[in-house]
Amino acid sequence: MPSKKVNIDRVFHALGDPTRRAIVEKLSEGPISVSRLAMPLAVTLAAVVQHLHVLEASGLVRTEKAGRVRTCRIDPAGLTVAEQWIGDQRSAWERRFDRLGDLLAGPDEK
């Protein structure tokens, strides 16, 4: 079930930043708290929280607070939207080459 909030502009914009991609890469391995997520990244906790807001708003990441710990996890909806758009371009592009191939092969080959 894709999140309602997924916006393809925001998904691609969010992925254009190396720290945000590092966050998505880490979360692809499993959910983790904000503080543990921030540890290996060469940025402040405040910067990580800011990046998480951008990732959440785009539909790439979800966060959830339980007691004093905020846990982050991948929201597959965001990546799926980006993957589908790229796949659509590849399909259009491959169909064009198939048609060119048919044309070059000539009527005898059809």
C-beta of 41 vs 68, nearer to a second copy: 41
Instruction: Tell me the C-alpha distance between 14 and 8, whole Å.
Output: 10
Minimum Å gap between C-beta 34 and a second copy is 19
Instruction: Tell me the C-alpha distance between 1 and 78, whole Å.
Output: 11
C-beta of 18 vs 67, nearer to a second copy: 18
| Burial status of residue 57 (CB atoms within 10 A of its CB: 0-12, 13-18, 19 or more) | middle
By the criterion CB under 8 A, which residues form the site for a second copy?
8-13, 15-18, 21, 24-25, 28-30, 74, 76, 79, 82-83, 85-90, 92-93, 96
